[in-house]
Chain A
Amino acid sequence: QGLPAGIPRDKTLILPFLFAPLPVPGNWNLWAGWRAQNCGLHQFVTEPLWTINPDVVKGGIINALAAADPIYNSDFTKLVIKLRKGIYWSDGVEFTADDLVYTIQTVKDTEGLDYHGAMQDVKRVYAPDKYTVVVELNRPNSRFHTFFLERWGALRPMPKHIFSKVKDVLTYDFNPPVSLGPYVYVAHDPAGYWVLWKKREDWKRTVTGQLFGEPKPEYVLFINHGTPEKQNMAMLRHELDAIQGTAEQMLTMLKMSNTTRSYRDTWPYIDPRDISTRGPAFNHLVPPYNNKDVRWALALSIDVVETIISTYNGMAAMTPGLPLVVGKNFYDWYFKPLKPWLENLTLDIGGGQKFKPWDSKAPWRLLEWAKKNYKVDIDPNNEEEVRLTLGYGWWKYAPDVAEKLLIKNGFKKIGGKWYLPDGKPWKITILRGPDPTDMANIFILGVAEQWKKFGIDVVFNVTTAAATLALNGQFEVLNTGHGGFAGEPWGLHPDLYLCFNAMNSKYVRPVGEPTLGWAGRWSDPRMDKIIAELERTRWTDFPKIKKLGLEGLKVEIEEMISIPIINCPIAIVFDEYYWTNWPSPKNDYARCDNFTTWPQLKYILHQIKPTGKK
């Protein structure tokens, strides 16, 4: 059942398709308007010029279609891109500089295409030879190439030989799509719940083929079964090879089938290394959240260990800073240098008292708890392993200090309940979306619980309009998904420019107007300076980038602009019935969610192995 005749199950990899159904099934034009890309579209149809490495341990940027790093001139107004040779579209046409020139030119000229805005900076684009593209810019931009650097999305080349024949690029449906990646489109669901791909016979003429060799599966099927229960059933029927969902779903699947496993064999099972954080963020234009002491008090009234245990069974890694994600690279680049500073960080809690909030041992407390409840194979003496699994550490649970901070600012606690300085009861309204399976929404419940325990009323404004309201600044406290704008760094590149830039003071807008920057509307002259400095820094100048990044992080953390608590955990389950060699701590070739939504999937398909089961 399931697969049609002629498509053997043992040669087919079946992956979940998270953002289903396709908005417009049968439209593969991913340059015009939003397309649900993770159905194979951005995995297989396209190749970026550069991409971040799926291998988190190694990290760094891979040159994909580009043959080398971007080459800027000294004032960042001209960019030279060298292209890889011997890459072919799936219809046999060679990929050349013409394709890229055509793409940049078309996007620049056509309103409504993605990156149309970004490409307005382009003065001139041309190809001096078949494998070189030169982009001349209207103004200096040291980060222009990042539009072509794929993390989750990027501006990728279009097949000129197809698009140039089309009357209206905007409405063209690109059906069937022609691929640059190693797989080619076979069929899709008219409802948009599945898309089937087949390995190209000439897979050698793709970037993947050149860099990593032959991908193993003959077919890849992306499918969405609707509700989580159905994903579970599908995996139990071995009709689905991976599931990414909630912690409960993961535990359920581990319990219910003996062919399933997760990233880790034992607690905490999850892969903690997504590149975004979760936690409440404040609207800095709304009192009392514009007060640093209040923000710190709210942070110190959270028992991070208890929160993680209650919401996620402890299976998440804690992080104290907004773009400070948990991962080997960030550990080395930022956490290690930050550690002494964190340890010495001191708060003035009034009455001449000082307080050092940093709790370096929080991950170990989590570990202690876990050992009592689960089988755990993390070596407590291996600091790096503990911190990279359970997080860097967090703030002390110090409600007494929080109390002092608040009282210092005129707050009152009467009968166990907090009152604002103006005498009104303190009620925090948290804006959040309706999806109860969203990690952020699950996690915020635990945070709210901590604040309630501390004596503050918390209510939720649950609305599907959360996104719009956030952008308009119509909130007090926001439950951030990806840290809002400022959340996600490149992850495997130390540059934090894109995170910091969102906090540029020029983007702050009053409540009611959509902001161009971070929804929290925080700004600081120190940060503005760091941003300007970064703009002048070459993308490859790691020491300077790291130095500026570190400075920015310190400002953010000291100001407690939001309270990131965890690094988004990837709760993933693999079925080893047909395919094995999924990533694990011992075989850590990729972050697990590359199998579900990320475009880098094509670079790891040579890793999995068929079991040979029929």
Chain B
Amino acid sequence: MSFIKRYLIPRLIQYVIVTFLGLTAIFLFPRLLPVDPIKQELVRYQTFGVYVSPEQQEQIMKTLRQLYGLEGTLWEQYLSFWGRLFKFDFGPSLSRFPTPVNKVIGMALPWTVGLLSFTTIIAWILAVIIGGIVGYYRKKWMEVFDFIIMIIRPIPYYITSLIFLILFAYIFPIFPLSGGIGIGTTLAFNLSTILNILKHAILPALTLIVVGFCWQFQSMKLITQVAKNEDHVIYAKIAGISDSKIVSNHVIRNAMLPMVTQLGLQFGTIFSGTLITEMVFAYPGIGWILYDSIMRADYNLIMGIMCISVIAVTTSILFLDLIYPLFDPRVRYR
């Protein structure tokens, strides 16, 4: 069928190529790091005061090199990387040896994905709606709102989160200072645990939403300002269609289209985007683990996480591309 030939296949090919290139880049980058995972490990023993005698050190280096699978040429390692990737096995984490990478990721990923998919989507929806409205009406109080957003947006993210923390965890101690789950609580599937988790997620989520919202709000507003001068909008206005309908049916509906693509890319920040959140809120997640693994040159873990990241992003873009025709009937025709 020519839909498959013309629409699906090219996109799938593009998807495969981009994913392939992305994964290759991910294989190569960490190996260029000036940090050596084994030496890094050794130094950690020393820094934390575990005395390692020189003889012992030599032994550790030899054993670790073997255990970490860091032998062989780059090319051999690259081939075995693909081999393992297809089995979805990234080997043991080097810095958290001998825990398998999959396990490390498995423990952290749900938190990140949970927090981020929620906040990304909420921020996006809010931005689309409010950005559309503000972009369209431009009333006085909206200008004020716009101005506030403009001021909040550039504030470095960790300052924003710190302010939230001081406000809602210190001055008004409504929310916990840190963590993803209450102290002494073990993970279980019951109402009180879920509530507990939600309570801990509110502040991080709030900051992520505020920051995400501010960014997207402004692009939505700009898109709207262009969209509201489109012929069909002016026509609807002349025809006496109420403003609220114009905003919802014409302006937001149409300006949303480029925002859909942005949403896809937004998912790309999931993995790097939570790093600072996790640092500030001591929140569980993959960001810190990734950061830490870079610092320790934990190739396997870096690759594991980044592979998931790349695959998640390309897949979500592919997905959005495939459902894009639902949003834009013109694409269906082309």
Contact = CB atoms under 8 A, between A and B. Distances in A.
A173 B51 CA distance: 24
Contacts of B162: 227, 229
Nearest to B42: A471
A513 to B, nearest CB: 11
A467 B40 contact: yes
A565 B269 CA distance: 44
A187 interface: yes
B182 A4 contact: yes
Given A2-B176, A32-B97, A502 B54 contact: yes
Given A112-B67, A507-B54, A225 B186 contact: no
A118 B98 contact: no
Interface stretch (A233-241, A293-301, A329-337, A347-355): A233-241
A24 B99 contact: yes
Interface stretch (B74-82, B142-150, B280-288, B321-329): B280-288
B180 A187 contact: no
Contact of B34 (A32, A118, A468): A468
Interface stretch (B21-29, B164-172, B206-214, B216-224): B164-172
Given A4-B183, A171-B98, A468-B34, A226 B63 contact: no
Contact of A191 (B58, B103, B282): B282
Contact of B184 (A3, A27, A227, A236): A3
Contact of A117 (B55, B93, B288): B55
A237 B165 CA distance: 13
A278 B203 CA distance: 39
Chief secondary structure at chain B's binding surface: helix
Interface string A166-205: 0000110100000000000011011111101000000000
21 contacts: A1-B176, A7-B183, A19-B48, A32-B97, A120-B59, A153-B45, A153-B50, A173-B99, A189-B284, A190-B107, A190-B284, A229-B165, A230-B165, A233-B170, A233-B177, A234-B178, A465-B34, A468-B43, A471-B42, A482-B47, A516-B54
A226 B282 contact: yes
B54 A501 contact: yes
Interface string A138-159: 0000000010000111000000
B56 interface: yes
Contact of B284 (A112, A186, A191): A191
B34 A115 contact: no
A25 B107 contact: yes
Given A1-B176, A3-B183, A226-B280, A24 B96 contact: yes
Contact of B53 (A37, A186, A234, A498): A498
B288 A21 contact: yes
Contacts of A7: 183-184
Contacts of A488: 49, 51
B97 A236 contact: no
A517 B61 CA distance: 14
A4 B185 contact: yes
B47 A481 contact: yes
B95 A193 contact: no
Contacts of B50: 114, 152-153
A570 to B, nearest CB: 14
B173 interface: yes
B179 A189 contact: yes
Nearest to A27: B99
B268 to A, nearest CB: 23
Given A34-B95, A485-B46, A189 B39 contact: no
Nearest to A155: B50
A33 B97 contact: yes
Nearest to B169: A233
B104 interface: yes
A23 interface: yes
B276 to A, nearest CB: 10
A322 to B, nearest CB: 15
A387 B92 CA distance: 50
B181 interface: yes
B63 A116 contact: yes
A173 B103 CA distance: 12
Interface string A6-22: 01000000000001110
A153 B282 contact: no
A26 interface: yes
B183 to A, nearest CB: 6
The residue among B64, B104, B180, B182 with the most chain A CB atoms within 10 A of its own CB is B182
Chief secondary structure at chain A's binding surface: loop
A514 interface: yes
B63 A111 contact: yes
The residue among B46, B165, B166, B185 with the most chain A CB atoms within 10 A of its own CB is B46
Interface in A437-470: 463-465, 467-470
A485 B55 CA distance: 13
Contact of B44 (A34, A151, A227): A34
B51 A151 contact: yes
Nearest to B199: A1
B47 A118 contact: no
Interface residues of A, number: 76
B33 A465 contact: yes
Nearest to A472: B39
B98 to A, nearest CB: 5
Contacts of B59: 116-118, 120
B35 interface: yes
Contacts of B53: 117-118, 498, 501
Nearest to B158: A227
A221 interface: yes
A115 B66 CA distance: 17
B306 to A, nearest CB: 18
Contacts of B285: 191
B162 to A, nearest CB: 6
Contacts of B95: 23, 34
B104 A24 contact: yes
Going nearest first, the 8 A-B pairs with the smallest beta carbon separation are A191-B284, A117-B59, A152-B49, A153-B50, A467-B43, A516-B54, A226-B282, A117-B56
A114 B285 CA distance: 28
A190 B34 contact: no
Given A1-B176, A118-B53, A196-B183, 18 more contacts: A19-B48, A21-B282, A23-B95, A117-B58, A151-B51, A153-B48, A187-B183, A191-B179, A191-B278, A193-B179, A226-B279, A230-B178, A236-B170, A468-B43, A481-B47, A482-B47, A482-B49, A498-B53
A516 B46 CA distance: 12
B229 interface: no
B248 interface: no
A562 interface: no
A223 interface: yes
Contacts of A498: 51, 53
A472 B36 CA distance: 10
A224 interface: yes
Interface string B229-256: 0000000000000000000000000000
Given A34-B45, A170-B98, A233-B170, A226 B178 contact: yes
The residue among A186, A190, A234 with the most chain B CB atoms within 10 A of its own CB is A190
B165 A233 contact: yes
Contact of B178 (A120, A225, A470): A225
A196 B184 contact: yes
B57 interface: yes
Contacts of B215: none
Nearest to B55: A117
Given A34-B41, A191-B180, A117 B185 contact: no
Interface in A554-574: none
